[in-house]
Structure formats: C-alpha cells, structure tokens
Amino acid sequence: MILVNLLLVAIAPHAYAKRNLVLMISDGFGPTSETMARSFMQDMGTESHEPWSSILDSMLTGSIRTQSSNSLVTDSAAGATAFACGLKTHNGAIAVDTNGTPCGTILEAAKNAGYATGLVTTSRITHATPASFAAHVVDRDMEDLIAMHMISKNATRHTKVDLMFGGGMCRFLPQSNDNSCRNDDVDVWQAAKDSGVATLTRRSEFDLLSQTNQSVLPLIGLFAHSHMAYTIDRDSTSQPSLSEMTQTALNLLDDTSDKGFFLMVEGARIDMAGHDNDPAAHVHDIIEYWRTVQKVHQFVHSNPDTLVVSTSDHETGGLALGIDPEYTWHPRVLNQVTKSAEQVCSYLFRTQKQDVTEVIEDHVFPKYLGIDNHTQAELDVVVDALQVKGGDGRHKVCKHAIGGIVSKRARVGWSTGGHTGADVGLYAYGNQMHKIKGNMENSHLGTLLMQYLDVSPSQVTKALANTATRQLAFFHSPHHDHD
C-alpha cells in the first residue's frame, strides 16, 4: 500500500499538470500572404538575396481545408465556428449548427472545466471570429445580441470570458449615446460593470495592467469605436498593438487558474486589407501577426505546458505575386506606402471641398503612397472613384482604386475582393504539437484542440438549448465581411 501511494504521488503532477492552449487565427491569410511578407522582409534587408524565414515557417505542420457546410468558399463565421465547436455550419452562422441550434464552444467548455479564458482581436470584439467562441446567433450581423452573449455568465454563474481585448465599443453603448452603433437602448457596457467585469478604454489604463500584481479579471478592454487601426496607421499612444495585447493577456491568464487557460488571438485586419486589395496594409498586419506569434513562442519556452496553434479561417483576395507579362514583383513599392487605402480614402472624402486633383497630386501620391511620378491614368482612377455615389459603395471603389495603383506598381494581383476556397497553412509549437499535423478539415482541428484540453462541449450544448439566437430590430448588412 505504501508503494502504491508513493507511485500515485509521483504520477500526480503529470496526470493533473497545468495545460495552456493558444489558438491564433490569421484571418484571410493564405500561403501566398506568407510568401509576400517573407519576400518583403528579405527585400528590405541589406542582403536581399539571402534567404529569410518567418517564425511561422519554423512551425509549419500541415494545412487546413476551409469549406463550410453550404459553400466551397467559407466566411469567417462558419470558419471560426468549425474551430470553436468542431463542426461544419453554413456561412454567416455564429456557433450554431446547420439547424440554428447553439453548439458549445471550446472556450465555454474550457471555462466550465476550470480553465481561464480569453479573446484578443484587432476587429470589433463582436465580429465573426471572436464572437464564434462566446456567442450563438443565426446571423453574424446580429452584433447587438452578440455583445450581450459575450458578457453573460455560464452555468456556474461565472463570466465565461475572463479577458477580452479588441475594438467595437459602439456595440456596447445604448443608442442614446452619440458613440453607439446599437439598434436599442441596452447599455451592455454598464451591464458588464454591474456584473463585476473591470472595464477600460484608454491606452494608459492598458499600460497599468503590466504593473499590477493583483487579479484584475474578469476584464474587457475596448480601444476603438469599431475595428482597431491597421498596423500601418496605428497611433501607438492611443491603441496597443496585437502583440502588446497578447503579451498582457498571457501574463494575466497565466496567473488566474492552476488548471491553465484557453486564449484565442486573431489578426483580424489581415483579412480586411485583403478585401480592400491593399497590399501595403496587408503586409504590415502580417508582420505584426508574426511579432505576436514570436511573443507566444517565447511564452511556450518558459511554459512548456503550452500548445500554440496558428491557422486561418480562409484566404482573402486571391493574392498573386507577379502579374502578366513580367516574371517579377517589387516588394519595395510597398515599403514606400505610409497609409492604408482606408485612411487615404477617408482623408480624400473629408477634403473634397478643396481642389481634389491638387490634393491627390501634392499630398496623397507623394506622402501616402510614395509615388513621385504618377501617371494621368492613375490620377483619373482616383478622381473617378471619388465621384461614385452611395455611402459604403464609394468607399469600396476608392479603396480598390488606391490599392490597385500600389498593386500594379508592385506587380501584385488580386482575383477578388472577397474570399477564396484555398487551403490555408497549419502551424504548431509546444506541448503535443506532434498531434497537429497533416491536411485536415477545419472542424477536425476544432476536435483535436478540445481533446488537447480534455474538454467536451456536450454539457455546454445542452445548457444552451434555450439561448436566444435571433436579434430583434435586426438589419442584415450586405457588407458584413469586413465593414
């Protein structure tokens, strides 16, 4: 008996070891995007002919098939639901199955099992990817209801998401507030506070988190009205970067539960730059995503009980490096760009009362795009785009015009302003990484991740049976993919 007890003591630390999982989703990031950013970094070096590799290159273990239940080309909602619930659903669905029934997610199952949980993104926190881990609605545009789901409590009366960092403050404020984008008077921000969630919106408040030894969870930090800024546009005094938010999340979650944590990190704006066919914004957000992966990689070194898996929900833009007839592309063109197409177009629409041609020639081309030898054709493309009528439509045309000029000069091509059905990369490092390999369906990866944490969504799914999945006062947006 004494020998048996000694054996149990020796085995126990391994049988009940702490276990962490970081799932990183580079939204809209395909294999060609990896090549593009790698070539950009290589070309910026002093020895541009020398091979250069990213942190992801060292972690490549396989690839992911991305189709949804109703289309060979998925959207982010169905793609993220496959990772979160381990099942295929139709485009637009947020953590519900093809019948509209809520499916328990890995985050919810992990919380019920005693893990700490977190979501970090550069989009609105209510956007499709983060929402699919903590909300259940039949249409991804039901962001008013998503916000309410995300601050709700689980069956044990604990806030199911311990930490949330991102943008989208407007979805948490009542419509009576000038900064709101809700369609009702529900004050979700105040409701979060009332339920014991700490809140912050300022960069200075975020910086203080690294100086405290006290538990500050549950916590929600939203640093933008809507999506956070592209890396190329970001004001570091007002918004933390993806890598900074992730590092802080790792530190806070690691001190919260003896069992471990589940953290989802999304590089959301990689996808949005792809939708805009904006190669400069695309490459800079990829590089910031790499910085974030490096931070997590370093955390794994110090915490070998951690597994990090990085993949994408889909590819965006149908990116091509090299366009007919030349066998080349020019990364240095992208290095001259200082603003995203989104910011350039916002600037142009604000200054249209001035001589728009003069503004484009004297300011936009040389200062924002790094072009000092523009052609008449390039000028005409931008001027014509500004004449398009109709809100969102004209902004899209303008962004594609700006992105198109830069892309053509760089010899970069795009097949679409939407998603494609391409397979995407699968990357892993750390504890049990040998199990994350090969070519697999996105839903199978979701199942493998649940097995790693030793959690099952079945009890969560049962508890969600009466969850409201439809939002009242709802308007479906035709531009939900990245607006």
Any idea which residues carry the catalytic annotation? 76
* Cis status, amide bond into 218, omega within 30 of 0: yes
Other C-beta atoms closer than 10 Å to the C-beta of 186 total 18
Strand partners, 424: 64
- The DSSP string of 450-462 is HHHHT--SHHHHH
Interior angle at CA 199, CA 164 and CA 308, nearest 5: 20
Closest by CA position to 443, among listed 64, 152, 110: 64
* Sign of the CA dihedral with 367 first, then 368, 372, and 378 last: negative
Radius of gyration of the chain (CA): 23
Contact between 380 and 301 under an 8 Å Cβ cutoff? The reply is: no
Q: How far apart are CA 401 and CA 395, in angstroms?
A: 10
- 250 token code pair: 């790792």
Interior angle at CA 482, CA 172 and CA 411, nearest 5: 150
Helix (H) or strand (E) segment spanning residue 320 = strand 320-321
Contact between 451 and 431 under an 8 Å Cβ cutoff? The reply is: no
